[in-house]
Structure 1
């Protein structure tokens, strides 16, 4: 969007010695002509930009001029990362700070940019939780978030079934997944995830957290969830699938389980695959979604169970 590019251009020049149009074009991924058009638009909006030709020249802001964005506090600047993500600021106890940051950001923008930002806010909404589910109560999330953001160790009381355990952790990050919050932290020599709704108590300690060098939260989370999915897949079976069932396989059994090579299609387009699923009863429930688009080849017990389930369904609907 042009409004975001104009803001980016203005902030790149603010407080700096200036920059050539060619360099700005390269950094913004646009043409030099577009840079000059954007400069003209900012000048028309009251931003004191000017250009100098010759060696050492370029596009500059008037010395001493700064946008109102420089008046934002550290907390408000951090809260900008939460704008447009419903519920996250509330869960983290940053709703008021985020509202102030948004007001300052909008007030600092020239009128053309402000109109574009308001349009996005009015016409774009992100509904984080999945269908038929609600966000879980965040519980001790505010205290956990404080430990994560300030880099301090944390002692929690964690519910595991009917019992509770106490853990002293080195927090590494927070993940919001479909409306559910998870704390990623080091316990002794292991990196683990803890569902925040199961944290019954949380106390932020004074000592700094020990954080592995170059820890990548997003990368760790992706690998951890994939490894968890793979660990559940212990039941082997072999099936034939119609073309429609083969296309639907990832949505029925999951992306990880569906990462299998198919045989060459037969005359009707059906393929044979070797699958590993959670358990026979889980496989039965999943395969019923395919209707007449699946034939179980092995094991015989699953083939028999699917046949009997189909017969019961047919009798009920006769």
Structure 2
């Protein structure tokens, strides 16, 4: 017995009134016998479904009965339409299913909340990818979706940043994550659980292997710990800098949030005109130089000496390149 199908029968009766078993069977793509059995199970569960005999008869709910699902508050009705994210749903190959689900839920809402939900849907739109970049191509995402839902392993060819750049992996996908418009698959391998960027999957083929996802694995908890570990691996050093007031205002548009937070927590006054001195985390000398150069004359590196020297050398090259003759 499908609990979701029983819910569908209930919503059909609630949104459309009296229906014959034949109509219910046609709507849900099941046999008439199955429809009768589902109606009997709803009655056994305490749902007040009764049959009206004769021509034009059928099954309907007792007048005034409504499911708890439709006992939504105004805020819940609004929130319902934040769940229908057309871009990610299309990526996953579920656009049709999401649309159908929203329509069914909308039909089940009382009139006032139905209008509220429709108004909310009309004035909010989600565009997940960030600015200044094209959306990533993920042609193998549907295969990974299938693997997650059917718990089948995938033989994948993956491109990574370190040598050898192309590697073959057997992935046992535990889940998918959409982060700032970028899809990631969390999967178990012989080396343990790891995270892979879907756009870097060059080939993916479903295998015959069926795996069990650990009962204690929680995708949200894993992702949070992964992000924390990523930040730890990312920032391997620190630098001391001086910032002008304008440089501090421009900081959020030019460096990652972790750097902004570090400036806010460590800034101390450093001379006149509002300049401050602060300690920031750094990935590498080269990377830090590139980020800080975006701030131009509004930043000065105090330490380490290697970063200060790299900044000076880079600025010298730029000065010679733009020297006016």
TM-score (norm 1): 0.65
Distance 1:279 1:232 in 2: 9
The structure-2 alpha-carbon separation of the partners of 1:110 and 1:255, relative to structure 1 and needing over 3 Å to count, comes to: same
- Kept in 2, the 8 Å contact 1:262–1:271? The answer is no
Distance across 2 between alignment mates of 1:67 and 1:317: 76
Distance 1:82 1:117, change over 3 A: closer
Judged with a 3 Å threshold, the aligned counterparts in structure 2 of structure 1 residues 93 and 258 are, in CA distance, closer, same or farther, namely: same
Query: Structure 1 residues 236, 64: closer, same or farther in 2, change over 3 A?
Result: closer
Does the 8 Å CA contact 2:267/2:279 hold for their aligned counterparts? no
| Cα shift at 1:128 | 0.6
Tell me whether 1:210 sits opposite 2:209 in the alignment.
no
| TM-score relative to the length of structure 2 | 0.64
Matches within 5 A, 1:122-141: 122-141=122-141
Structure 1 unaligned residues grouped into runs of 5+: 1-10, 15-47, 49-60, 71-79
User: CA offset at residue 184 of structure 1?
Assistant: 0.7
Which of 239, 245, 256 is matched with 1:237 structurally?
239
Matches of 2:168 and 2:277 in 1, distance apart? Answer: 49
Residue 197 of structure 2 corresponds to which residue in structure 1? 195
Q: How does 1:67-216 map to 2 (within 5 A)?
A: 83-150=83-150, 152-160=151-159, 164-188=166-190, 190-199=192-201, 200-203=203-206, 205=208, 207-211=210-214, 213=216, 215-216=217-218
Structure 1 pair 155–309 and aligned structure 2 pair: CA distance change class (3 A): closer
| CA-CA distance at 1:193 after TM superposition | 0.8
Please say which of residues 308-317 and 278-287 is displaced more in the overlay. 308-317
Cα drift, residue 242 of structure 1: 2.5
Partners of 1:158 and 1:164 within 8 A in 2: yes
Deviation at 1:183, TM superposition (A): 0.7
Kindly tell me: are residues 248 and 223 of structure 1, through their superposed partners in 2, closer, same or farther at Cα, counting changes over 3 Å?
Answer: farther
1:254 alignment counterpart: 256
Q: Give, in angstroms, the shift of residue 198 of structure 1.
A: 2.9
Partner of 1:76: none
1:204 to 1:105, Cα distance in 2 relative to 1, 3 A:
farther
Tell me, yes or no, if the aligned pair for 1:156 and 1:202 is still in contact at 8 Å: yes
Residues 54-104 of structure 1 deviation map (CA, whole Å, 9 limit, x = unaligned): xxxxxxx9689346989xxxxxxxxx8984313111111112222221222
Aligned residues of 2:153 and 2:173 also touching (Cα < 8 A): yes
Which residue is equivalent to 1:40? none
Deviation string for 1:286-306 (max 9, x for gaps)? 112222222222234433443
Q: 2:308 aligns with which of 297, 303, 315?
A: 303
How far, CA to CA, are the matches of 1:308 and 1:65 in structure 2?
Answer: 77
CA distance 1:262–1:154, shift in 2 (3 Å): same
Once the two structures are superposed, residues 129-178 of structure 1 have per-residue CA deviations (whole angstroms, 9 ceiling, x without a partner) of: 1112232233222232233234x131221222576544333322110122
Q: Contact 1:128 / 1:179 at 8 angstroms: preserved in 2? A: yes
Match of 2:6 in 1: none
Q: CA deviation at 1:277?
A: 1.4
What is the total number of aligned residue pairs between the two structures?
Answer: 250
Report the aligned-residue RMSD. 3.5
Shift of 1:308: 5.0
The one-character-per-residue Cα deviations of 1:93-116 (angstroms, maximum 9, x if unpaired) are: 112222221222222222222211
Distance 1:133 1:105 in 2: 35
